Amino acid sequence: MLRKLTFAILTLALFLAACGSATPVATESADTAITLTDGLGRTVTLPAAAQSVVSLTPAGTEMLFAVGAGSQVVGRDMFSDYPAEAASIQDIGGSMGQYNLEAIVALQPDLVLAGGINPPELVASLEDLGLTVYFLPNPVTLEDMYAVLETVGALTGRGSEAAALVESLTARVAAVDAAIMPLSYQPSVYYELDATNPAQPYTAGPGTFVDLLIQRAGGYNIGSGLEGQWATISVEQLLVADPAIILLGDAAYGETPEKVAVRPGWETLSAIQSGQVFAFDDNLVSRPGPRLVDGLEALVEILHPGVLK
């Protein structure tokens, strides 16, 4: 398996597996019990808002901190690196989907927050150990992501904080929409995920947040016409598409505009000739949490500099 795509699958695939509706059904009884339907269609009940939570995904960890429940997180997967405070929380594994179940049980969490790449078998194993597990619904739109944030808020007793966050995110996206609407220019964009083989690099295809956010930022993702959400594209296809902008989502793995410029056959691309090749923080568009809005704004600044006032 490709060296970069291996990690990408573990983090980017957090939103690839369709795992039910992103809008949960939630009720709260008089004795403060919380009942919700999760992304696997299971009814999950907490006697009260969870005060100790183990997060199995980076997106889940980011959401917990974003709604103000960071102090309630007692364990997190090894890939949870944002915000910086997450580093001080106990690491319970997650490499290649392997978690330290004994460590999770020892933490005695009120709730284990799963989702994305976590298979149903892992959920079942954790439940067999006596733990309460909620599998976050899989968001495929920004609106879905807002609903998941509200769910995380409900599970942790941070409903008002989650509502305020969603209101802020919605306003920021509305500002982007208003700025982009009158524009007629739609630059073509090649978004790179993995160029271990520069003759057939991986890019983001249709149905990904990368594709959705590039479009919402007023661009055209040349990968949108490929088959599969994570697809390879040949140099010949790149030359035909001739993207105006190249975004290096694999910059964290050492790819740079300078390296791209000297790849065989790439030198005639418009983006390279005009110097429109940029390193990009892939976490902003791959983790289905509140930083997707940061990613959207960052894309607008590259695609349409100065449009956001």
The string of DSSP codes covering 252-274 is GGT--HHHHHTSTTTTT-HHHHT
List helix spans (H) across the chain.
3-12, 58-66, 101-106, 120-128, 142-156, 159-180, 209-216, 235-241, 257-261, 270-273, 283-286, 291-303
Are residues 116 and 164 located together in one domain of the fold?
A: yes
Hey, CA dihedral for 301, 285, 201, 205, is it positive or negative? negative
Residue 180 lies in a domain: no
Query: What is the domain-level CATH number for residue 66?
Result: 3.40.50.1980
Same domain, 162 and 29: yes
Asked whether residue 183 is assigned to any structural domain, the reply reads no
Residue 5 has pLDDT above 50, yes or no: no
CA dist., res. 205 & res. 200, Å (int): 14
Distance between CA atoms of residues 191 and 181, nearest Å = 22
Residue 154: predicted pLDDT: 97
Q: Do 193 and 102 fall into the same domain?
A: no
What six digits make up the tokens of 7?
A: 């990690």
| Residue 161 and residue 102 share a domain | yes
167/25: higher pLDDT: 167
User: Do both 167 and 246 map to the same domain?
Assistant: no
Distance (Å, whole) CA 265 – CA 147 = 45
Q: 14 vs 46, which has greater pLDDT?
A: 46
Instruction: Say which DSSP state 218 is in.
Output: T
Rounded to two decimals, what is the model's pTM? Answer: 0.90
Judged against a pLDDT cut of 50, whether residue 3 lies above it is answered with no
- Give me the domain span that covers residue 73: 3-174
Q: Name the band, by pLDDT with cuts 50, 70 and 90, for residue 309.
A: confident
At residue 8 the predicted structure's pLDDT band, cuts being 50, 70 and 90, is very low
Q: Is the pLDDT of residue 24 over 50?
A: no
How much is the pLDDT for 22? 44
Q: Is residue 113 part of a domain?
A: yes
Structural domain ending residue among the three candidates 174, 209, 228: 174
Token pair of 182 as six digits: 């009158």
Averaged over 164-182, what is the pLDDT? 98
For residue 211, is pLDDT > 90?
Answer: yes
pLDDT tier, 93 (very low <50, low <70, confident <90, very high otherwise): very high
**Residue 243's pLDDT band (boundaries 50, 70, 90)?**
very high
Mean pLDDT value of segment 281-302:
97
Whether the predicted pLDDT of 258 surpasses 90: yes
Q: What is the pLDDT of residue 116?
A: 86
Considering the domain boundaries, does residue 31 fall inside one? yes
What does the radius of gyration of the chain's CA atoms come to, in whole angstroms? Answer: 20
Question: How many structural domains does the chain have?
Answer: 2
Handedness of CA 59, 22, 229, 219 (dihedral sign): negative
Last residue of a domain, one of 129, 150, 174: 174
- What is the Cβ-side half-sphere exposure of residue 164, based on CA atoms within 13 angstroms? 7
Please check whether residues 202 and 133 belong to one and the same domain.
Answer: no
- Average pLDDT on 141-150 reads 97
Burial class (CB in 10 A: 0-12, 13-18, 19+), 5: middle
- Does the residue 182 lie in any domain? no
Is 196 a residue whose pLDDT tops 80? yes
Tell me the average pLDDT of the chain.
91
Separation CA 298–CA 277 (nearest Å): 14
